[in-house]
Amino acid sequence: MEATLPPSLPPGRIIESYGCSARLVWMSDGKLPDADAWWRRLYAQRARTGLYRVLLEYCEDWYEPTWPPRVPVDVAAYLRDLWEPRSWPTFPHWPGLAVPAATGLDPGACAAEVATGVVREDWARCLALVEVERGTDAPAALHWPPVDDALTALLHSWEDRFGAQVVALTHGGLFVSAANPPKDLHEAHVLAGEHYLACPDVFHNSFDDWENTYPRELMTRREWYFWWD
């Protein structure tokens, strides 16, 4: 299906229209006080428009659109290669990938809840629409600077396992919703390790005792935040 802009949008412009990236990208002209309401409305229209919505910190920050991962990445192998005993002191050996709970929330409703929080805290109020097959391709499609093939593959894996959706991008930060996090503490520790290997910066800056506190938070937390220096 060829992507099409919905008939009603806030003031904005087309950044890319089937040019070098062969995809449609639209961005609002400024910050929107009701960006989360627009986010919900456009989510409901995604099947018809073929466009994924994402909140951005700055409307003037857009990047040369590109394709999602050019080199396939085996997530389990990638994390296993990064892992060493000091990465996850709880595990003397590589524990494999984390397993989600048997049931969870609706991914769209969970993502909308996170979007409301992001807008309320004024982290990101600009809006972008991007033509992608799955929402976790949006950072790569927008050529967001911290993203690479490995991170895109990780986002795909978290989407498949935990109902994760990309909600917002800031200069160096990424907000992701998680509809189906682990309910088992062991699996939450494994997932915490995945987060640590994907983005150690946020742990070094935000947690004094992340190995004990963060896994427990992950069992009920619907918003995942990553930040790269």
Give CA separation, 123 vs 2, 118, 169, 173, 207, in Å. Answer: 31, 5, 9, 10, 20
Q: Could you tell me which residues come within 8 angstroms of residue 203 by beta carbon, excluding any fewer than 6 positions away?
A: 195, 196, 210, 214
Tokens of 217: 């938070």
The whole-angstrom separation of Cα 112 and Cα 128 is 15
pLDDT at 187: 94
pLDDT at 44: 87
* CB count in 10 Å sphere of residue 20: 10
pLDDT at 156: 96
The 8-class DSSP code of residue 86 comes to T
pLDDT at 63: 62
Supply the pTM of this predicted model: 0.91
Q: Could you tell me which residues come within 8 angstroms of residue 28 by beta carbon, excluding any fewer than 6 positions away?
A: 9, 10, 11, 12, 59, 126, 127, 128
Give, to the nearest 10 degrees, the angle between helix 185-198 and helix 75-82. 80
Tell me the pairing of strands 165-169 and 52-56: parallel
Closest CA to 42 of 141, 135, 124: 135
Question: Exposed (0-12), middle (13-18) or buried (19+): which is 229, by Cβ within 10 Å?
Answer: exposed
Q: Are 51 and 42 in contact (CB under 8 A)?
A: yes
* CB count in 10 Å sphere of residue 169: 27
pLDDT per residue as tens, the chain (229 positions):
678 899 899 999 988 655 555 678 899 999 999 999 999 999 889 888 999 999 999 887 666 655 555 678 999 999 988 887 666 656 777 889 999 988 888 999 999 999 999 999 999 999 999 999 899 999 988 888 888 999 999 999 999 999 999 999 998 899 999 999 999 999 999 999 899 889 887 777 666 667 778 899 999 999 999 998 7
195 — phi, psi (to 5°)?
Answer: -65, -40
pLDDT at 118: 97
pLDDT at 83: 83
Closest CA to 126 of 55, 61, 175, 60: 55
Tokens of 2: 């060829």
Tell me the pairing of strands 173-177 and 165-169: antiparallel
